A and B are shown apart, each in its own frame.
Chain A
């Protein structure tokens, strides 16, 4: 224990007596926090995405020989497009879709890849015909009317074609929403038709369809509130650059050789060094939490929900730092790698995990696309922070993220311990 403590003190002094380190840990990030607060604390924000969808509507409408005279000539494809265009989130009145109708599909794959659209939907020629058949059969059976010969043997397939870039959140969520909308649309039509069939009144011009959606997130949160959560993590990632560099410098200078001739054990070194990193991380977190509160940050979850994911985030970052420091042979490479890792991680933080880009599906990772980002423990720390600490939902709503974060943290930590034992602090390396 006294050896661990000696390492802790050494690193703590090395860090606190370095004005540059203090500046980059507290002063510099503070400037950003103030700018974010000034820019984003007005108005509320709820993480509701607007999906950009390109629609190719080839629907020719209900044919003139269709059984139900009132249905003839109607174009349900147009109706569907219109519906998508007007759907809004109930609380914020934010549109759910931004619809662009296109008639040329040659470039669509590229446009999807480039992210011009999140989704592409093709409504085929026969959409109205098939949809009406479906609506008719469903309505007659619901109204308990005798079913026609045709209805009994024919189960209509109503098709639209969706395309998107597999693995993107927008595609996996957007596709589900569209499917939900179409199902709701058809059932809504069938229900109102069945009511009219039962009462014998004429078919209405327009079916009334309601999409019931309710946001589970508190509506008083501002963009700033979401930014603060991501910002905490962003700082962890910045801290790990300095941490890794100081480890590599210490190693390159030859201190690890000196340590090998003492009684210091690898795990004691790791614990002492990580103690400092954790301590600084916590200090920084508390400091920025207080400042953020002062600047108008509010959160619905308990502070425990801040400390838990942050601590796991710290530990996994540290493990990575140890691994890099032990495995990389030259200081220049190490600095370059640490900087690159830090930057990449920074971008991850910025690209939606840390900052508020819509991610309702993050609550249920299971069915969602599992992209490369999902391998980064800090992404899950960000998810947990935003969901539990900021929005105030229980930890059970982010269990998958919690398990992934815990598992990865443990794995990285064990791996770095093993590498240290194997090749760093033992004699004769």
Chain B
């Protein structure tokens, strides 16, 4: 692997409350330039908390990022954030301008991006009329409008039908070939296996193991990644 982009060191986060929730308990990992790192974990494992602490949207109780985040980051939150009254084109213009992308660049880039995720037909449709899957794809584009060097995706294909999901995976694979560094969270084995170079299995705020899917399967002797996952995280139901 190439040089590390940054390292996350010993991240702790407890949500106050009764009882307090220890969402992260000493998470550490490194991410290399150009790799796709998957955070694989069941619901409530701490994936979203990890991502938000990483991005500085939430203050961790302890821990650091060395040497720091790259300046240009694309972020797709777990909930699709779109304005009901704006069209996909207007969304891309908005976030493009907020990232200081010159208008002239945007004019070329927006149609290309819409084409990439098959949103061209809906370019002038207000978001209130888009399906959940389309909104999800749009929010992925919003993370890419300024051509960031580091992309953070929180369950990028949740709520999508299998067709869209495969379509998005192919898109991400193309992006990866272009050299983009990606951190994505997921609870889908197939997603982890198909798009991620390495996978960190997270549960109860701790990374249980980290490696390429093949390494993990071999190490834990499961025929599939799913078996490894269930072996590591147990079979009891989550919220």
Contacts and interface: CB of A to CB of B under 8 A. Distances in A.
Contacts of B83: 10, 13-14
A40 interface: no
B10 to A, nearest CB: 17
Interface string A1-12: 011011101100
Interface residues of B, number: 25
A17 B85 CA distance: 6
Interface stretch (B55-63, B181-189, B205-213): B55-63
B81 A255 contact: yes
Given A13-B90, A428-B59, A258 B97 contact: no
A127 B53 CA distance: 81
Contacts of A17: 85, 126
A52 to B, nearest CB: 53
Given A258-B75, A263-B100, A428-B59, A253 B81 contact: yes
A259 B98 contact: yes
A212 interface: no
B107 interface: no
Kindly name the residue among B52, B57, B59, B93 whose own CB sees the greatest number of chain A CB atoms within 10 A.
B57
B100 A427 contact: no
A257 interface: yes
Interface string B138-178: 00001000000000000000000000000000000000000
A2 B95 CA distance: 11
Contacts of B90: 9-10, 13
A5 B97 contact: yes
Contacts of A263: 98-100
- B-side interface mostly: loop
Contacts of A14: 83-86
A158 interface: no
B85 A3 contact: no
Q: Is the interface of A mostly helix, strand, loop or mixed?
A: helix
Interface in A244-270: 253-255, 257-264
A7 B98 CA distance: 8
Contact of B77 (A254, A259, A264, A427): A254
B95 to A, nearest CB: 7
A262 B84 CA distance: 21
Contacts of A255: 81
A350 to B, nearest CB: 33
Contact of B99 (A13, A15, A262): A262
Interface in A183-240: none
Interface of B: 52, 55-57, 59, 73, 75, 77, 79, 81, 83-86, 90, 93-95, 97-100, 103, 126, 142
Interface of A: 2-3, 5-7, 9-10, 13-15, 17-18, 253-255, 257-264, 427-429
Given A2-B97, A258-B142, A427-B56, 9 more contacts: A2-B100, A6-B93, A6-B98, A7-B94, A7-B98, A254-B77, A257-B57, A261-B55, A263-B100
